[in-house]
Amino acid sequence: MWTDINNDYKQIFESKLEKWQPIQNDIDMIVEDMKELINSTIDDCGDIEMAEEQKQELKKLQINTFEKKQELAKDYIKEIFYCTPINVLLNGDKVSYIYKQLIN
């Protein structure tokens, strides 16, 4: 019985992950683009001051990115709750694991 529940849960998790993964990839790509912009500013014109401003913007973006990933993870977990058997939900380790996977 537990094997069936775990398999069902795994299928639900994988199908939901397909939905959220592109959003996370977009967020990560924005951060990477920002890092490249900072490096090219230093390389192209040696403008350290402008690069420092861009680094500050990147820090803000990374904080916002982490917060956005947390929001996505929470939405994702809520969505999983609607279609996950109650005895699986009672296992808090799985929920914690999903959340950690989504924000990292």
10: in domain:
no
97: in domain:
yes
1: in domain:
no
The answer to whether the CB of 5 falls within 8 A of the CB of 85 is: yes
56: in domain:
yes
Classify 90 as helix, strand or coil: coil
What are residue 6's phi and psi, to 5 degrees? -60, -40
14: in domain:
no
pTM, 2 dp: 0.35
13: in domain:
no
Classify 72 as helix, strand or coil: helix
> What string of pLDDT tens digits covers the 104 residues of the chain?
445 555 666 666 666 667 666 666 777 777 777 677 666 766 666 667 777 777 777 777 777 777 777 777 777 766 666 655 555 555 555 556 665 666 55
Q: Give the single-character DSSP code of 33.
A: H
37: in domain:
yes
Domain enclosing residue 63, as ranges: 19-103
Number of domains in the chain: 1
